[in-house]
Amino acid sequence: MRYFVKVNGHDHEVVLSERLGELFVEVDGEGMDLVYEEVDALGQVLAIVGDSSFGVSIEGDSRRAGVTIAGHFYDVEIEDERERAALAAARAASVGGGLVKSVMPGVVVSLLVAEGDVVEEGQALLVLEAMKMQNEIAAPTAGEVRLIHVAEGEAVSAGAKLVELEVPAES
Amino acid sequence: MFDRILVANRGEIALRILRTAREMGIDTVAVYSEFDRRALHVRMAHQAIALGGELPSQSYLVAEKIIDAAKRSGAQAIHPGYGFLAENAKFAAAVTEAGIAWIGPPPGAIEVMGDKITSRRAMQEAGVPLVPGLTDAVADVAEAIEASEGIGYPVAIKAAAGGGGKGIRIVREPSEMESAFRTASGEAVSAFGDGRLYIERYLDQPRHIEVQVLFDAHGDAVHFGERECSIQRRHQKLIEECPSVIIDEVVRAKMGEVALQAGHAVNYEGAGTVEFLWSGGEFFFLEMNTRLQVEHPVTEMVTGVDLVREQLRVAAGEPLGYGQDAIKMHGHSIEVRINAEDTTAGFVPSVGTVKNLRMPGGAGVRVDSCLYRGMEVGLAYDPMLAKVIVHAHDRATAIRRMRRVLEELNVSGVRISAPAALAVLEEEAFQKGEFDTHFLEGLDLSKPRGSEERLVAAVAALYRRHRAADRALAGSGETRRGWRERSRAMTSTYAKVAGRSAKRGKA
């Protein structure tokens, strides 16, 4: 099975193949001499590469995982060949990037724009409070406010849609 | 000494206080919100009293509920910890009026020091050096701009009732004033219910140096030297040290004297911290925190004093029993705060349920933590989960020890601030002691620094393959158990590359 693994934004390819009950690991076209041992059901893994030992912690689901080795965190996105094809098709279908999403969970303290307003790039759209700190969420691009998805006082989760901007067509 | 005390707090600080009380043979009473019903501080106290409510505003911040709990449990004293009601003069007064001892300074001292404007006035009168600025609140943007011309840019606008970095904005030119004024005022209203702002000079390359003080009820006081807290972001500290590399014996004695002068001016009692901004050899009074600080352990490690024990003794009316000569500093200590936040994405809060947990250990390591497996980390409470503290004979060794400790530490389920702290400790400038309060903000933390990407890719693929195998093998109903047993046997396969065999399976 071939996996496309994005680690901290960098692409890697992993091939796992089983032959006669033995598992072969190949990363970026090179064989890896790897011992992989799950220590518990919580995601603690022992990995030995050659003679180098690593205490690894992994969490997540089949698409997205977080890995910690020696205090460093690695953000992992993983797809197999079938998923990669499906996602590529889905990405191609959704073009245009005027959607402002929340990068953090928080509460909308105040809306600074209304639907129909024309905003400049960097203009504050709303104030989001998280952990009692108020943060101005700025427009990523100039455009017209098409739709506001949230109301003042509303709690939002990370990734929630906040504001949709109509981006003027490139001339 | 008290027979029973109530700790009006949660998290690691509640545990910290409970531990000392238990060592002193004092019965402990914990209080908890509905959200915290399984928390460690509830499990470690002798008694636990529910306050009801999920949010702090329904529980830890309700003075009447806390005082009722103290009366009900027969507690003779209340320790407020830090945050929540710790610096609430009305609460301190209500506790004393209810016939319960308050483990903290007198309400009058909290009141004067708790307001930046009244504290500046009091310190000015006491001859304590202040940062150039106004001692009165400004009414609006126009007045703020006018005042700033006199003080000189850049200026800092700050909430009069502020603390913890909330309601503070730096303004470098008049055009930035309006937006800064609006957000600072909004933050001040929502955090403190008081939107008043004041203005002062913003110092260049400043370092945040604070002095730990302790006053008994009989007019005697000592200081325990300084803490270096310059590694901070938006005024939230991340790494603290004791001592500071830039403070020598002479300056330490001088700062200590000024800190005691500040405390005497407000008839202080108990433990407190006088914060200074240090810039180019000068130091200026910033504020006094009338409570135990988060970072108090670094002072404890270096001086060998248990500050909570001293707080309890002083609150019970005992005299200090020692003078300044008795305070000796040994070696170097560093603390790192473990917060639930994603430091690669601008320190945004991270929420989740803690799963994996591996705590560091070994020589010279102290862990003050409220973490347990299954702990939920939400948005309603402070994101600080733990503090790791190291002690060594010198700073270089302490830094190496802390790096080792952060490499050992592992918390999953939420993102934590440890990688950012590790990045700071790896910086040459930090190791040389050359930094100021802007150091952390100037560091690019958006790019992860781990160098084991290929291994991570392989492990992630194997982990996913195992989970898929688990799902495929998981049956239903009666057959499930049998299938599980069989699946365990079957997943003990072998990985072999380049002629090397290795067992793979679950231990």
- Domain ranges in chain A are 2-93, 99-166
Pairing of strands A2-7, A10-19: antiparallel
Among candidate residues B15, B45, B51, B40, the one with its CA nearest the CA of residue B30: B45
The percent of chain B in helix, strand and coil, each rounded to the nearest 5, is 40, 25, 35
ω before B349 within 30° of 0 (cis)? no
DSSP string across B471-493: HHH---TTHHHHHHHHHHHHH-E
Task: With CB atoms and an 8 Å threshold, state whether B461 touches A54.
Answer: no
pLDDT of residue B483: 46
Task: Provide the 10 A C-beta neighbour count for residue B105.
Answer: 28
**Does the pLDDT value for residue B135 go beyond 80?**
no
What's the complex ipTM? Answer: 0.79
Pairing of strands B77-79, B101-102: parallel
Among candidate residues B212, B216, B386, B231, the one with its CA nearest the CA of residue B300: B212
**Does the pLDDT value for residue B489 go beyond 50?**
no
> Among all chains, which residue has been given the structure tokens 């800064």?
B180
Task: With CB atoms and an 8 Å threshold, state whether B504 touches A45.
Answer: no
Q: Which CATH number applies to B4-103?
A: 3.40.50.20
Contacts of A2 in chain B (CB under 8 A): none
Mean pLDDT value of segment B148-158: 89
Among candidate residues B116, B275, B279, the one with its CA nearest the CA of residue B200: B116
* Lowest mean pLDDT segment, chosen from B89-103, B267-281, B462-476: B462-476
H/E segment holding residue B213: strand B207-215
Which residue is closest to B345 within chain A, CA to CA?
A: A103
Mean pLDDT value of segment A124-133: 82
**Does the pLDDT value for residue B336 go beyond 80?**
yes
Mean pLDDT value of segment B369-374: 96
Q: Which CATH number applies to B132-201?
A: 3.30.1490.20
pLDDT of residue A91: 62
The vertex-B487 CA angle with A75 and B505, nearest 5°, equals 50
In this structure, the dihedral spanned by the alpha carbons of residues B55, B58, B62 and B66, taken in order and rounded to 10 degrees, is: -80
Residue type, B441: E
Give me the residue from B346, B379, B460 closest to A58, CB to CB. B460
Tell me: the pLDDT tens digits for B271-287?
Answer: 999 999 998 888 999 99
Give me the residue from A34, A39, A44 closest to B458, CB to CB. A34
CA B240 – CA B294 distance, rounded (Å) = 10
Quick one: tokens of B326?
């008795």
Length of chain A: 171
CA B35 – CA B54 distance, rounded (Å) = 5
Q: What is the mean pLDDT of chain A?
A: 87
pLDDT of residue A97: 54
CA A107 – CA A128 distance, rounded (Å) = 6
Task: With CB atoms and an 8 Å threshold, state whether A67 touches B409.
Answer: no
H/E segment holding residue B326: none
pLDDT of residue A140: 80
Residue predicted with more confidence, B476 or A163? A163
pLDDT band of residue B63 (cuts 50, 70, 90) is very high
Pairing of strands A22-27, B493-497: parallel
pLDDT of residue B497: 42
Residue type, B321: G
Rg, chain B, Cα only = 25
Q: Which CATH number applies to B331-445?
A: 3.30.470.20
Residue predicted with more confidence, B483 or B318? B318
* Lowest mean pLDDT segment, chosen from B44-48, B170-174, B247-251, B297-301: B170-174
Residue type, A85: A
pLDDT of residue A169: 62
Task: With CB atoms and an 8 Å threshold, state whether B457 touches A76.
Answer: yes
CA B123 – CA B328 distance, rounded (Å) = 28
* Lowest mean pLDDT segment, chosen from A36-40, B191-195, B206-210, B322-326: B191-195
> Among all chains, which residue has been given the structure tokens 């499990």?
B43
Distances (CA, A) of B136 to B116, B197, B264: 9, 9, 23
From the candidates A8, A12, A24, A36, which should be mutated to test the interface with B, based on the most B CB atoms within 10 A?
A36
pLDDT band of residue B475 (cuts 50, 70, 90) is low
> Among all chains, which residue has been given the structure tokens 């499906």?
A86
Task: With CB atoms and an 8 Å threshold, state whether A33 touches B497.
Answer: yes
**Does the pLDDT value for residue B507 go beyond 50?**
no
Among candidate residues A6, A167, A168, the one with its CA nearest the CA of residue A84: A6
> Among all chains, which residue has been given the structure tokens 């306050």?
B51
pLDDT of residue B167: 78
H/E segment holding residue B306: none
pLDDT of residue B164: 63
Q: Is the dihedral of CA B63, B65, B71, B77 positive or negative?
A: negative
pTM for the whole structure: 0.80
pLDDT of residue B195: 85
pLDDT band of residue A92 (cuts 50, 70, 90) is low
Distances (CA, A) of B16 to B4, B70, B215, B324, B392: 16, 19, 21, 25, 22
**Does the pLDDT value for residue B39 go beyond 90?**
yes
* Lowest mean pLDDT segment, chosen from B370-374, B405-409, B446-450: B446-450
Residue type, B93: A
**Does the pLDDT value for residue B493 go beyond 60?**
no
pLDDT band of residue A130 (cuts 50, 70, 90) is confident
pLDDT of residue B484: 47
Contacts of B383 in chain A (CB under 8 A): 131
CA A117 – CA B356 distance, rounded (Å) = 47
pLDDT band of residue B68 (cuts 50, 70, 90) is very high
pLDDT band of residue B74 (cuts 50, 70, 90) is very high
CA B297 – CA A116 distance, rounded (Å) = 54
pLDDT of residue B202: 87
pLDDT band of residue B490 (cuts 50, 70, 90) is very low
From the candidates B390, B406, B456, which should be mutated to test the interface with A, based on the most A CB atoms within 10 A?
B456
Tell me: the pLDDT tens digits for A56-72?
Answer: 999 988 889 999 999 99
Pairing of strands A143-148, A161-166: antiparallel
Strand partners, A48: A35, A53
SS3 state at B9: coil
Distance of CA B316 to the CA centre of its chain: 26
Q: What is the mean pLDDT of chain B?
A: 91
**Does the pLDDT value for residue B335 go beyond 50?**
yes
Show me where the domains of chain B are located. 4-103, 132-201, 331-445, 458-504
**Does the pLDDT value for residue A171 go beyond 80?**
no
CA A164 – CA A147 distance, rounded (Å) = 5
Residues in Cβ contact with B193 at an 8 Å cutoff, skipping those fewer than 6 apart: B161
Q: Which CATH number applies to A2-93?
A: 3.30.700.30
pLDDT band of residue A88 (cuts 50, 70, 90) is confident
Report DSSP state, residue B276.
E
Q: Is the dihedral of CA B155, B417, B453, A50 positive or negative?
A: positive
Q: Which CATH number applies to A99-166?
A: 2.40.50.100
From the candidates B372, B385, B426, B462, which should be mutated to test the interface with A, based on the most A CB atoms within 10 A?
B462
Helical spans, DSSP H, in B270-306: 296-303
Longest dimension (CA), chain A: 65
Contacts of B507 in chain A (CB under 8 A): 37-39
Among candidate residues B328, B300, B345, the one with its CA nearest the CA of residue A8: B345
**Does the pLDDT value for residue B476 go beyond 60?**
no
Judge whether B362 and B316 are in contact, CB under 8 Å: no
Task: With CB atoms and an 8 Å threshold, state whether A57 touches B500.
Answer: no
Distance of CA B475 to the CA centre of its chain: 48
Q: Order of strands across the sheet with B197-201?
A: B166-171, B155-163, B197-201
pLDDT of residue B427: 97
Tell me: the pLDDT tens digits for B163-198?
Answer: 666 778 889 999 999 999 989 888 888 888 888 898
Q: Three-state SS across B191-253?
A: HHCCCCEEEEECCCCCEEEEEEEEECCCCCEEEEEEEEEEEEECCEEEEEEECCCCCCHHHHH
CA A74 – CA A68 distance, rounded (Å) = 6
CA B324 – CA B259 distance, rounded (Å) = 13
